[in-house]
Structure 1
Amino acid sequence: MHYLFHFLLLILRNFLQLGDMSDEENGPPEGSAWAELKLPDLLFTDTIRELHAAIGKEWDSLQQSACQTAAGRAMWKHVVHDPVAGLLAGETYLKSFYDKINKDRLNNAREISGVILAVRTLWFDSKLEAALSSFNGGEAQVVLLGAGMDARAYRLSCLKESDVFEVDFPEVLQIKTSLLQAAMEPTNEYQHLRMTAKSLTRVAADIREHDWVEKLQKSGFLQEKNTVWVLEGILYYLSHSQAMQVLKMIADNCGVTHTVLLADFMNKSSTMLSTSTFHFYSDWPDHLLPTLGFSDVKLSQIGDPDANFGLMHDPLNMFNKLRSLPRSVQTHPDDGTPCRRLYLVQASGSPR
């Protein structure tokens, strides 16, 4: 359930600031990365077309946003290394995302569609690598809740000593597996694609239910093993009780082994963009998580030194304007708009 993309479009639609934008500040020189849309040849084979047709017919809008997220990563391939993102996204979502980027460039938008997604992806990648390094070379587990079309198990070398578990709805994992299997056939363009993780286990489960941890354990997850939990673009789609249950179950592991949580949180104003879609929020996740059992919590916002990656230099883009305001401010003093924030949070804990 990688559904952050839906939020990104909503927040950009509500806050888009137009003006002169230099490519040196917010993207590659002269937009060369988006000069032409080249679709993977494999997308035009019957097998792949049928799989993506099933996504269009059978998945709901939230499940389909996993493909939208993959499309964003594919469009920002000049900064995000994800060789199978285009295949997992599909033709429809790649073309749609490409059109949005071209429209933004035509309008001299200060934020090009997908820049938040690119920054978020790079933030999670870098924090995941750092967390695994903190285990001092020991074996570790990485659990991706709401994995969607995430391909980290195939693209991050830092996972070479880690057992990776992808948790999501069965229909999502089934089609994702079929797409990757088709891609790696000897005659196809991704035939040299190899898993970079030590192992990969896909766990069909709904984290809104109470049995997802049991299903995870039955699939080989070991509670006593050092673990990084990745909750990317998922918490705010849960109800308050569901999200708190998930966070508490992860926090409980801090009493058993070295546990790291990587997650993004919306503040309350962000959930107001669509109250029928977004539910859970936290204005102060760095205060919330210690009450659950995490001993060390670090919070970043898009544009901070560790959440920038050379893509957010323009001081007048909406994210840098928000960063200059205290987090307690709910309404922007310049234009009266709500301060809609997305927090990137790293939390950890260990047995005392």
Structure 2
Amino acid sequence: MRRPRPLHSARSASSARPQRARLRACVALPIALCAALPLAAHAGPYPDKPITLVVPFGAGGITDLVARATGKALAEQLGQSVVVENRPGAGGNIAADFVRRARPDGYTLMFATVGVLAVNPHTEVKVNFDSARDFTYVSLVGSTPHLLVVNADLPAANLPDLIRLARAKPDSISVGTAGVGSSPYQGMRVLQDVAKLEFLHVPFKSGAESVTNVVSGQVNMTFEATPQVMPFVTSGKLRALAVANPRRLSTAPQVPSTAELGFPSLVSGSVAGLIGPAGLDPAVVSKLNAAVATAVANPRFRDTLVAQGTEPMASSPEQFRKMIGEENRRWSVLLGADTKAR
């Protein structure tokens, strides 16, 4: 009589194991695909949720005002709300570091100034970012020339008077700014360089706070945009000595330009644009760039910026990146002594 074959021989058990593994894999595959379906279904066309626009300075300053106007225009173009979030401190470095570490999905952007990106790396304040490596450039948005204003009690009727006063007493004339690297800080440093003098730097959280302190007499002078200072110039609390620009401004036609006064290289202002973390999807960058270009071409948006003393200007991502690179090199030379001293 033939002996019955064992139901589970060593050989059959061995061959069954790969079969069971394949079976488990086949069962698991549909489950994994099903689990992924809700994620894929949620990921709609960009943007499908609110966007955060980080501003590196406090509320009320010209950067904040232009950023808010830009956020509103972008919301209209993209069909999603844009939430402006002020993250002041360290001359804009806190905001830049926050955006650098953000997820590169297009939902965290920054309204960045040239000062933060190209000046800060060459100052005494430590930065935790590399402007060339850590950000995706989207587009320029606007350029805001500065007025050089002093408290009405300062015995300086014009720019030459101010220069003589500052040279006579080095470090005695105080300059309020929105912090190291901010655009008013840049104006101060350029004036120091071209006139060969030294001011006393007094940093604040925003340009608005700086202007308030010049009006009250706590500091002597500042560089700021026309909307921030002209009401006080008109009331007699501030005196406008010059517009730090090659030509006069339509918003302050009575104020001479620095070029007229013999200082053509004394140019100061806030140039700002839109950036995001490194690694943004090119399709997202393209959509954001197109939205900025459309906004800048809109007469209503342009009028809003012009009323704030800002010239609207769009660009390609490459043009914006190139500008930052050029400014980086310029400020590396201008602040070279500071960099070596650190």
Instruction: Tell me if TM exceeds 0.5.
Output: no
Higher relative contact order (CA 8 A, sep 6+): 2
- After TM superposition, the score normalised by the length of structure 2 is 0.31
- After TM superposition, the score normalised by the length of structure 1 is 0.31
Higher relative strand content = 2
Q: Which has more radius of gyration?
A: 2
